[in-house]
Amino acid sequence: MSVAKEVKRVTTRTLQEMKQKGERIAMLTAYDFSLARLVDTAGIDVILVGDSASNVMAGHETTLPITLDQMIYHASSVVRGCGRALVVVDLPFGTYQGNSKGALNSAIRIMKESGAHAVKLEGGAEVLDSVERILTAGIPVMGHLGLTPQSIYKFGTYVVRAKEQEEAERLRRDAKLLEEAGCFALVLEKIPAALAAEVARSVRIPVIGIGAGGGVDGQVLVLHDMLGINKEFNPRFLRRYADLHGVITEAVSGYVRDVRSRDFPNAEEQY
Ligand code: KIV
């Protein structure tokens, strides 16, 4: 008889119920097996295999260069490390815009080849065809509005979005469109807290914020940022829960010192 404790998987339905009960949803990014396993066992509800992998894993300046094959590689590593969390994968730039058939093929490849549970894509009315077509295959879709980093060359800056009336109004409309199309949740990135709270109240699906204040249904951060691995990125919305930059630098310089001084390995650390 197995003594392993059954872990109940978080599903899109769980998230819907959490919103109804007023329970906050905790989401973080992960891109590899080892950290996904740590994040999952620590109790996270949703793991996002974000295209921020392009920045934090590959060192690119933007999220644009990462490919579908690379996202599938990261996603399948995360899925292997994950027993409880819902795993959502970003559709990378160029794999869903302006071509709903292509979007469906990209989403199917992610689901089939990585074993993930849902996809996320950026934009509102302009990607609605793609959202609807992906949903026809029974693939859950998470929307993403506000600051959408794949459009950085259109915005020209990473400043707060939707501060002006016209853009705020468009965001309200897009949130409704995505809900009506059948998205199971929405990410709102870097918009005024009051607008984000209003959108969260106006839709039935969970709204997860990043830099969108506390009035939404859940929060997401990039794992490497909240663990303090990246020292250079310091937006106001970021809370650091560790200083891994310091911890790792100290550990590695200690190792270098011990190897050079012949302190490592000692008599007990050899055969
Ligand atoms: O790619 C990513 O990490 C994201 C989050 C910032 C929401 O989309």
d(CA 20, CA 86): 18
Question: Sign of dihedral through CA atoms 133, 65, 75, 191?
Answer: negative
CA dihedral 87, 177, 14, 50 (to 10 degrees): 20
Give the Å distance between the CA of 40 and the centre of ligand 1.
Answer: 17
d(CA 212, CA 193): 5
Q: Which pLDDT tens digit goes with each residue over 203-252?
A: 999 999 999 999 999 999 999 999 999 888 999 999 999 999 999 999 99
Q: Is 210's C-beta closer than 6 angstroms to any atom of ligand 1?
A: yes
**DSSP class of 41:** H
Q: Is 187's C-beta closer than 6 angstroms to any atom of ligand 1?
A: yes
Q: Which pLDDT tens digit goes with each residue over 97-121?
A: 999 999 999 999 999 999 999 999 9
d(CA 270, CA 260): 17
Q: Is 220's C-beta closer than 6 angstroms to any atom of ligand 1?
A: yes
With a CB cutoff of 8 Å and minimum separation 6, the contacts of 89 are 48, 49, 71, 75, 110, 114, 116, 118, 119, 120
Query: Hey, is 239 helix, strand or coil?
Result: coil
- pLDDT value for 1: 45
220, two tokens: 């997401």
174, two tokens: 């897009």
Give me the domains of the chain, ranges plus CATH numbers: 12-240 (3.20.20.60), 243-271 (no CATH)
* Number of Cβ atoms within 10 Å of the Cβ of 61: 9
Q: Phi and psi (nearest 5°) for 220?
A: -135, 140
Q: Hey, what amino acid is at 205?
A: I
- The number of the ligand 1 atom at minimal distance from the alpha carbon of 122 is 8
- Catalytic residue, candidates 17, 189, 198, 268: 189
- pLDDT value for 5: 60
Q: Is 51's C-beta closer than 6 angstroms to any atom of ligand 1?
A: yes
Give the Å distance between the CA of 50 and the centre of ligand 1.
Answer: 5
Rg of the chain, C-alpha, whole Å: 20
- pLDDT value for 71: 98
Known active-site residue 169: no
Nearest residue (by CA) to ligand 1, atom 4, is 50
- The number of the ligand 1 atom at minimal distance from the alpha carbon of 189 is 7
Give the Å distance between the CA of 29 and the centre of ligand 1.
Answer: 7
- pLDDT value for 7: 87
119, two tokens: 């996809």
d(CA 175, CA 131): 13
Write down the pTM of the prediction. 0.96
Give the Å distance between the CA of 127 and the centre of ligand 1.
Answer: 18
180, two tokens: 């009506």
Q: How many angstroms from the chain centroid is the CA of residue 96? A: 17
Q: pLDDT of the chain along its 271 residues, tens only?
A: 444 567 899 999 999 999 999 999 999 999 999 999 999 999 999 999 999 999 999 999 999 999 999 999 999 999 999 999 999 999 999 999 999 999 999 999 999 999 999 999 999 999 999 999 999 999 999 999 999 999 999 999 999 999 999 999 999 999 999 999 999 999 999 999 999 999 999 999 999 999 999 999 999 999 999 999 988 899 999 999 999 999 999 999 999 999 999 999 999 999 9
Give the Å distance between the CA of 221 and the centre of ligand 1.
Answer: 7
Q: Is 50's C-beta closer than 6 angstroms to any atom of ligand 1?
A: yes
- The number of the ligand 1 atom at minimal distance from the alpha carbon of 52 is 1
Q: Is 28's C-beta closer than 6 angstroms to any atom of ligand 1?
A: no
Q: Is 217's C-beta closer than 6 angstroms to any atom of ligand 1?
A: no
Nearest residue (by CA) to ligand 1, atom 8, is 50
The answer to whether 191 touches 200, Cβ cutoff 8 Å, is no
Give the Å distance between the CA of 148 and the centre of ligand 1.
Answer: 9
